[in-house]
């Protein structure tokens, strides 16, 4: 009955292709969320220290840039002063970091090649104070996004230092740098790890497991198994063990060995991203059924509303396997429906943004999940914000703030603004990940200073928008998060539309089938690099303005 | 669909309920599966069994809806499953499959708003185009083909570049293979490794010289569940002596745990030996290390034999390790 490829066969195949299929995850890779947030904090730190005259001697170049910005726009001094006020508030947030432990329950050892030489990190915490309750400003070490989430070593980022010229701003005091930005960044990557957000139920698997319907397998059919598995494993690696059932769905064979997939409730990291889009392309009236803007809506995914071939393969997967949202088990279906007073369902909320229209199981479950309109990522931002502001002294506060920061990061990715898993999504974002430091100029003093200036100038504009909104609405202790995420997405999409080569279905397909150079090479042109830099810097700027405004809300 | 079948299904649907439990929908779907099995055991075709299951599932998910609505939703889900299968196997082209998605979505919306048409659909849709026979002026339309409201075929929308995409897709699917190792069933997701260093060095195990890559070793997998290290490189700083080189080059390689040149508990070293034939990816990486580029941004992730992958490590940008990397 065994229909799986033998191990020997697998190896041969693997090395013949020299590549395995990579899943088209639907979000920036987590380290980029962390890096963007950290960058925003480091610039905030620069502005704060400039304002109080506390910049280190080595930061003369940065100081000169900030001074020049203030000469050109004297209102910038007020912004710097606001940063100085925000700084202690952000540093006082509890880290929310839960440690990385080995199988014996002891702190995990660090890399033998780094400064810790294979020893665990000594956080030097006061007696009785857990790491998660330690203030961010007191953290001795920077952490990677995998800290506490399954790192091979201790999860300390031994290579970290502030980007470019910002290293002259955030200098060690009492033996360590300020790691608030890294910790905030850690939490901004958090929503990508929320596997309970979207859980699926399959209507088919158990029945098709029934030995009664088992058939035989021939050479021709085994190729089919491979082809369908290629789609399944490539898009959702968790499905590889279910390949036999996929073949069954194709009407050919059934195999009764599905070991690790619970048909009624299963989760996967690639489902998580389905709530991380906000589709801001123009769409006909009344086609966004549940929010002012749709989140991911695969039937109209992409810049023109036509799903590309990779997206079509996701339809194959969901429809063939009968995957429906399991409403009861999906936190996202409930959490990211934002209905605020006074408007209620579908009305205008306290943040002056249109609320969601309430959906229940009978709205989410009947069609396979890929045909649903998912909640937009601005709702995810507001979800965390609501909880963060409800108790900013809680150990979980920074984790909640991470939702808002994450959404701002996602809104800077063009593919998230048109709701597509294809059209170059994965290769574009991978390309950003691999050249992030080039984009922000980490390795060049002059480029780094230029980036800092642009971030600061753009952050000022976002900050003015927030202040104007507060003055206009009287909501002095709030931030219009849903508006901000949506506006950033609109801006990102506009920039992408001016560079239509960014929408590359061919790159997505090449990436899916393992052709790295063909896929990512599409984003190595000067125009694409400029677009990536522009969108990343815009998101960093908005994060900076947001952090300053956040501190005011909780002060 | 035959009327008598519809009657059978209505009877079956009312049986597809289960005692209340923590999740009544799950219970209901479970009992629907059992019922479907019974149908299969009584000789009903698998294709039709899938329809039963979709119909029952729809009933379980929205028990307060009229039966005809559950039938409609089950029909659409069944249609979509068939079209997905046909697309995956090459029986439908990219354009045809895309057209089915638009067609069924449009028809589902229209039929949802028309209870009379829903009942008519239950009573008969011989050509399975989701237009009730009552209204169908073009019987015999292929089930997948988009139609207008009277069931007559409409044009399949053209997609720019569809032929190229079709060719790439089919070629890719034909060549794709899946990594699978039953020993990894139930294994945890592998932890994230770290890219440590690269450089020239000896490869004692093979008695060769070449370029070696050191990564943090992933442990904790069950016996026999081998880990693979997928490494992505973005080579930068091209050799100015070769102006034809692009400013950056992407290469991906995969190493099996068994190729580790060392037996250290904490880190693994993988080699790209000089002077030996290698796979295309490794050859490209070796050439880039050896002569073409001075630095590389690289990252690594661990993939188990059931293709469970760790998150990618944070990318690091490095020149060759000054002291080399021996393995």
What residues in A contact B43, CB-CB < 8 Å? none
Question: Is residue A11 domain-resident?
Answer: no
Task: Give the pLDDT band (50/70/90) at residue A512.
Answer: confident
Q: Are residues B87 and B149 in the same domain?
A: yes
What residues in A contact B26, CB-CB < 8 Å? 201, 264-265
Question: Is residue B178 domain-resident?
Answer: no
Q: Are residues B210 and B288 in the same domain?
A: yes
A516 to B232: CB separation less than 8 angstroms, yes or no: yes
Q: Taking a C-beta distance cutoff of 8 angstroms, is the pair A170, A182 a contact?
A: no
Question: Is residue B326 domain-resident?
Answer: no
Q: Are residues B275 and B140 in the same domain?
A: no
**Residue A207: pLDDT over 50:** no
**Confidence (pLDDT) at A229:** 60
Q: Are residues A185 and A202 in the same domain?
A: no
Those residues whose C-beta lies under 8 Å from the C-beta of residue B273, and which sit 6 or more positions away, are B203, B206, B208, B209, B210
> What mean pLDDT do residues A547-555 have?
96
Q: Report the number of distinct structural domains present in chain B.
A: 2
Token pair 């295309």 is at which residue? B280
Query: Which positions 255-284 of B are in contact with A (Cβ < 8 Å)?
Result: 256, 266-267, 279-282, 284
d(C-alpha B205, C-alpha B218), whole Å: 20
Question: Which of A150, A243, A443 faces B189 most closely, judged by CB atoms?
Answer: A150
d(C-alpha B285, C-alpha B198), whole Å: 12
> What mean pLDDT do residues A306-314 have?
92
What residues in B contact A516, CB-CB < 8 Å? 232, 250-252
Q: Are residues A199 and A170 in the same domain?
A: no
> What mean pLDDT do residues A416-429 have?
94
Q: B304 touching A, CB under 8 A?
A: no
**Confidence (pLDDT) at A219:** 33
Q: Taking a C-beta distance cutoff of 8 angstroms, is the pair A272, A333 a contact?
A: no
Q: Write out the residue range of the structural domain in which residue B255 sits.
A: 184-318
B106-135 confidence digits (pLDDT tens): 999 999 999 999 999 999 999 999 999 999
Question: Which of B58, B101, B228 faces A366 most closely, judged by CB atoms?
Answer: B58
**Residue A18: pLDDT over 90:** no
Among A210-219, A273-282, A338-347, B258-267, name the one with the lowest average pLDDT. A210-219
Q: Are residues A34 and A142 in the same domain?
A: yes
Mean pLDDT of chain A: 85
Q: Are residues B144 and B96 in the same domain?
A: yes
What residues in B contact A7, CB-CB < 8 Å? 181, 305
Q: Taking a C-beta distance cutoff of 8 angstroms, is the pair A403, A381 a contact?
A: yes
B234 to A434: CB separation less than 8 angstroms, yes or no: yes
Q: Are residues B57 and B80 in the same domain?
A: yes
Share of chain A above pLDDT 70, in %: 84
Question: Is residue B21 domain-resident?
Answer: yes
Q: Smallest CA–CA separation between A250 and chain B, in Å?
A: 5
Question: Is residue B140 domain-resident?
Answer: yes
A227 to B174: CB separation less than 8 angstroms, yes or no: yes
H-run or E-run covering B96: helix B94-112
Q: Are residues A275 and A157 in the same domain?
A: no
**Residue A333: pLDDT over 60:** yes
**Confidence (pLDDT) at A233:** 59
Q: Are residues B77 and B141 in the same domain?
A: yes
Mean pLDDT of chain B: 87
Q: Are residues B29 and B101 in the same domain?
A: yes
**Residue A449: pLDDT over 90:** yes
Question: Is residue B323 domain-resident?
Answer: no
**Confidence (pLDDT) at A461:** 98
**Residue A285: pLDDT over 90:** no
**Residue B9: pLDDT over 80:** no
**Confidence (pLDDT) at A239:** 56
**Residue A259: pLDDT over 80:** no
Tokens standing for residue A89: 């508030």
B164-184 confidence digits (pLDDT tens): 999 988 887 766 555 556 677
**Residue A129: pLDDT over 90:** yes
Question: Is residue B303 domain-resident?
Answer: yes
DSSP-assigned beta bridge partners for residue B233: B251, B298
**Confidence (pLDDT) at A58:** 97
Question: Is residue A16 domain-resident?
Answer: no
H-run or E-run covering A292: none
**Residue A21: pLDDT over 50:** no
Q: Are residues A442 and A334 in the same domain?
A: no
B193-241 confidence digits (pLDDT tens): 999 999 999 888 778 889 999 999 998 888 888 888 989 999 999 999 9
Q: Are residues A322 and A407 in the same domain?
A: no
Q: Smallest CA–CA separation between B152 and chain A, in Å?
A: 23
Q: Are residues A431 and A468 in the same domain?
A: yes
Tokens standing for residue B22: 């923590």
Best of A203, A223, A432, A443 to substitute, by most chain B Cβ atoms within 10 angstroms, is A203
Question: Is residue A218 domain-resident?
Answer: yes
**Confidence (pLDDT) at A343:** 92
Question: Is residue B324 domain-resident?
Answer: no
| Residue of chain B whose Cα is closest to the Cα of A325 | B61
Q: Taking a C-beta distance cutoff of 8 angstroms, is the pair A473, A342 a contact?
A: no
Q: B321 touching A, CB under 8 A?
A: no
Q: B167 touching A, CB under 8 A?
A: no
Q: B251 touching A, CB under 8 A?
A: yes
Among A108-112, A459-463, B155-159, B160-164, name the one with the lowest average pLDDT. A108-112
What residues in B contact A145, CB-CB < 8 Å? 311, 314
Quickly list H helices, A189-285: 205-209, 219-235, 243-249, 269-272
What residues in A contact B285, CB-CB < 8 Å? none
Q: Smallest CA–CA separation between A433 and chain B, in Å?
A: 7
Q: Are residues B191 and B169 in the same domain?
A: no
Best of B64, B111, B172 to substitute, by most chain A Cβ atoms within 10 angstroms, is B172
User: CA gyration radius for chain B?
Assistant: 29
Question: Is residue A382 domain-resident?
Answer: no
User: Which of A112-116, A408-412, B321-325 ranks highest by mean pLDDT?
Assistant: A408-412
Best of A152, A189, A373 to substitute, by most chain B Cβ atoms within 10 angstroms, is A152
Q: Smallest CA–CA separation between A224 and chain B, in Å?
A: 7
Q: Smallest CA–CA separation between B10 and chain A, in Å?
A: 18
Q: Are residues B38 and B84 in the same domain?
A: yes
d(C-alpha A193, C-alpha A190), whole Å: 5
Q: What is the CATH number of the domain that holds B217?
A: 2.60.40
Q: Report the number of distinct structural domains present in chain A.
A: 2
Dihedral angle of Cα A76, A78, A83, A88, to the nearest 10 degrees: 160
For chain A, the helix, strand and coil percentages under 3-state DSSP, each to the nearest 5: 55, 5, 40
Length of chain B: 327
**Residue A498 vs residue A518, higher pLDDT:** A498
Those residues whose C-beta lies under 8 Å from the C-beta of residue A171, and which sit 6 or more positions away, are A56, A58, A59, A177
**Residue A408: pLDDT over 90:** yes
**Residue A151: pLDDT over 80:** yes
Residue ending a domain, among B113, B141, B173, is B173
A206 to B165: CB separation less than 8 angstroms, yes or no: no
Sign of CA dihedral A169, A172, A178, A182: positive
B252 to A159: CB separation less than 8 angstroms, yes or no: no
| Residue of chain A whose Cα is closest to the Cα of B173 | A227
> What mean pLDDT do residues A306-328 have?
89
d(C-alpha A463, C-alpha A81), whole Å: 13
**Residue B247: pLDDT over 50:** yes
Q: Are residues A131 and A160 in the same domain?
A: yes
**Confidence (pLDDT) at B305:** 67
Q: Are residues A122 and A228 in the same domain?
A: no
Dihedral angle of Cα A208, A209, A210, A211, to the nearest 10 degrees: 120
Residue ending a domain, among B173, B193, B211, is B173
Neighbour-count burial for A355-377, b at 16+ CB within 10 Å, e otherwise:
bbbebebebbbbbbbbbbbbbbb
Sign of CA dihedral A496, A501, A505, A508: negative
Q: Write out the residue range of the structural domain in which residue A61 sits.
A: 30-193+391-554
Among A245-249, A458-462, B82-86, B291-295, name the one with the lowest average pLDDT. A245-249
Q: Are residues B135 and B240 in the same domain?
A: no
Among A110-124, A245-259, A331-345, name the one with the lowest average pLDDT. A245-259
What residues in B contact A18, CB-CB < 8 Å? 252-254, 279-282
Q: Are residues A152 and A261 in the same domain?
A: no
**Confidence (pLDDT) at B11:** 45
**Confidence (pLDDT) at B6:** 47
Residue ending a domain, among B147, B173, B199, is B173
CA distances from B44 to A486, B3, B48, B50, B51 (A): 51, 16, 7, 10, 11
Task: Quote ipTM for the complex.
Answer: 0.87
β-pairing, B267-273 vs B208-216, is antiparallel
Q: Are residues A207 and A356 in the same domain?
A: yes
Question: Is residue A6 domain-resident?
Answer: no
Q: Smallest CA–CA separation between A173 and chain B, in Å?
A: 26
**Confidence (pLDDT) at A257:** 28
**Confidence (pLDDT) at A258:** 31
Question: Which of A18, A149, A312 faces B281 most closely, judged by CB atoms?
Answer: A18
Q: Are residues A256 and A303 in the same domain?
A: yes
A67-77 confidence digits (pLDDT tens): 999 999 999 99
**Residue A252: pLDDT over 50:** no
**Confidence (pLDDT) at A70:** 98
**Residue A522 vs residue B129, higher pLDDT:** B129
A251 to B253: CB separation less than 8 angstroms, yes or no: no
Q: B95 touching A, CB under 8 A?
A: no
Query: Which positions 36-65 of B are in contact with A (Cβ < 8 Å)?
Result: 36-37, 40-41, 46-47, 49-50, 53-54, 57-58, 61-62, 64-65
Task: Give the pLDDT band (50/70/90) at residue A231.
Answer: low
Task: Give the pLDDT band (50/70/90) at residue A243.
Answer: low
Residue ending a domain, among A315, A344, A376, is A376
DSSP state of A115: T
Question: Is residue B203 domain-resident?
Answer: yes
Share of chain B above pLDDT 90, in %: 50
**Residue B13: pLDDT over 60:** no
A207 to B279: CB separation less than 8 angstroms, yes or no: no
Task: Give the pLDDT band (50/70/90) at residue B307.
Answer: low
**Confidence (pLDDT) at A251:** 34
Q: Are residues B314 and B234 in the same domain?
A: yes
DSSP-assigned beta bridge partners for residue B208: B203
Q: State the angle between helix axes of A481-497 and A397-410 in degrees (0 to 180), rounded to the nearest 10.
A: 30
* Full strand arrangement of the beta sheet holding B195-203: B195-203, B208-216, B267-273
Task: Give the pLDDT band (50/70/90) at residue A518.
Answer: confident
A233 to B62: CB separation less than 8 angstroms, yes or no: no
What residues in A contact B172, CB-CB < 8 Å? 230, 509, 512-513
Q: Taking a C-beta distance cutoff of 8 angstroms, is the pair A440, A448 a contact?
A: yes
What residues in B contact A243, CB-CB < 8 Å? 178, 180
**Residue A36 vs residue B84, higher pLDDT:** A36
Q: B89 touching A, CB under 8 A?
A: yes
Q: Are residues B162 and B251 in the same domain?
A: no
**Residue A139: pLDDT over 50:** yes
């Amino acid at each position: 009955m065994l229909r799986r490829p033998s191990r020997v066969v697998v190896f041969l195949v693997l090395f013949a292709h020299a590549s395995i299929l990579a899943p088209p995850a639907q979000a920036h890779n987590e380290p980029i969320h962390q890096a963007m947030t950290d960058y925003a904090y480091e610039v905030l730190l620069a502005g704060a220290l400039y304002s109080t005259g506390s910049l280190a001697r080595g930061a003369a170049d940065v100081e000169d840039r900030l001074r020049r910005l203030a000469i050109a726009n004297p209102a910038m001094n007020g912004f710097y002063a606001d940063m100085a006020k925000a700084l202690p508030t952000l540093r006082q947030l509890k880290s929310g970091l839960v440690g990385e432990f080995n199988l014996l329950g002891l702190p995990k050892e660090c890399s033998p090649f780094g400064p810790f030489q294979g020893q665990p990190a000594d956080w030097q915490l006061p007696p009785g104070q857990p790491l998660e309750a330690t203030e961010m400003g007191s953290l001795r070490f920077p952490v990677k996004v995998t800290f506490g989430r399954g790192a091979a070593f201790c999860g300390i980022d031994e290579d970290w230092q502030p980007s470019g010229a910002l290293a002259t701003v955030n200098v060690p005091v009492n033996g360590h740098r300020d790691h608030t930005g890294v910790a905030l960044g850690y939490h901004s990557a958090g929503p990508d790890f929320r596997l309970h957000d979207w859980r699926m139920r399959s209507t088919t698997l158990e029945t098709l497991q029934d030995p009664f319907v088992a058939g035989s397998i021939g050479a021709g059919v085994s190729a089919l198994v491979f082809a369908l598995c290629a789609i399944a494993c490539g898009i959702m690696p968790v499905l590889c063990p279910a390949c036999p059932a996929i073949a069954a769905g194709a009407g050919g064979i059934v195999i009764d060995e599905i070991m690790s997939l619970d048909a009624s409730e299963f989760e996967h990291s690639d489902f998580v991203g389905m709530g991380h889009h906000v589709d801001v392309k123009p769409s006909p009236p009344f086609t966004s059924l549940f929010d002012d803007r749709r989140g991911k809506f695969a039937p109209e995914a992409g810049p023109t509303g036509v799903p590309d071939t990779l997206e079509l393969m996701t339809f194959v997967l969901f429809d063939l396997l009968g995957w429906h949202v399991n409403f009861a088990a999906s936190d996202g279906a409930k959490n990211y429906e934002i209905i605020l007073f006074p408007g209620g369902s579908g009305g205008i909320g306290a943040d002056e943004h249109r609320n969601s229209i309430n959906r229940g199981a009978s709205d989410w479950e009947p069609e396979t999940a890929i045909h649903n309109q998912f909640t937009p990522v601005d709702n995810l931002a507001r979800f965390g914000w609501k909880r963060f502001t409800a108790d900013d002294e809680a150990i979980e506060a920074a984790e909640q703030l991470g939702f808002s920061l994450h959404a701002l990061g996602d809104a800077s990715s063009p593919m998230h603004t048109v709701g597509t898993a294809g059209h170059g999504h994965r290769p574009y974002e991978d390309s950003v990940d691999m050249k992030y430091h080039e984009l922000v100029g980490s390795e060049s003093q002059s480029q780094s200073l230029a980036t800092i200036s642009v971030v600061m100038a753009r952050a000022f504009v976002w900050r003015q928008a927030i202040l104007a909104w507060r003055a206009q609405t009287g909501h002095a202790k709030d931030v219009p998060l849903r508006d901000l995420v949506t506006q950033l997405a609109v801006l990102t999409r506009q920039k992408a539309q001016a560079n239509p080569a960014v929408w590359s279905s061919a790159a997505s397909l090449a990436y899916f089938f393992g052709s790295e150079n063909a896929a990512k090479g599409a984003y190595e042109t000067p125009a694409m690099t400029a677009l990536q830099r522009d969108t990343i810097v815009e998101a960093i700027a908005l994060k900076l303005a947001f952090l300053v405004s956040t501190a005011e809300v909780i002060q | 669909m035959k009327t008598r079948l519809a009657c059978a299904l209505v009877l079956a649907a009312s049986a597809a309920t289960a005692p209340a439990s923590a999740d009544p929908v799950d219970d209901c779907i479970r009992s629907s599966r059992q019922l479907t099995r019974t149908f299969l055991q009584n000789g009903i075709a698998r294709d039709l069994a899938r329809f039963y299951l979709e119909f029952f599932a729809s009933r379980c998910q929205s028990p307060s809806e009229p039966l005809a609505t559950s039938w409609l939703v089950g029909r659409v889900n069944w249609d979509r499953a068939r079209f997905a299968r046909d697309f995956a196997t090459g029986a439908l082209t990219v354009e045809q499959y895309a057209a089915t998605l638009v067609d069924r979505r449009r028809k589902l919306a229209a039929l949802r708003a028309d209870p009379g048409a829903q009942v008519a659909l239950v009573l008969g849709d011989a050509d399975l185009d989701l237009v009730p026979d009552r209204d169908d002026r073009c019987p015999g339309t292929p089930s997948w083909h988009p139609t207008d409201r009277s069931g007559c075929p409409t044009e399949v929308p053209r997609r720019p570049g569809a032929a190229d995409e079709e060719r790439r897709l089919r070629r890719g699917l034909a060549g794709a293979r899946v990594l699978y190792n039953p020993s990894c069933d139930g294994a945890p997701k592998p932890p994230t490794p770290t890219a440590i260093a690269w450089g020239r060095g000896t490869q004692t195990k093979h008695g060769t010289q070449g370029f070696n890559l050191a990564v943090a070793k992933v442990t904790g997998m069950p016996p026999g569940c081998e880990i693979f290290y997928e490494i992505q490189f973005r080579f930068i700083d091209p050799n100015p002596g070769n102006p034809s080189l692009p400013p950056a080059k992407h290469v991906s390689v995969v190493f099996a745990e068994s190729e580790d040149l060392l037996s250290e508990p904490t880190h693994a070293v993988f080699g790209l030996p000089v002077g030996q034939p290698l796979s295309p990816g490794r050859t490209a990486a070796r050439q880039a290390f050896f002569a073409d580029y001075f630095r590389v941004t690289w990252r690594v992730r661990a993939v188990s034999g059931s293709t469970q992958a760790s998150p990618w490590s944070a990318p690091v940008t490095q020149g060759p390790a000054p002291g080399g990397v021996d393995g």
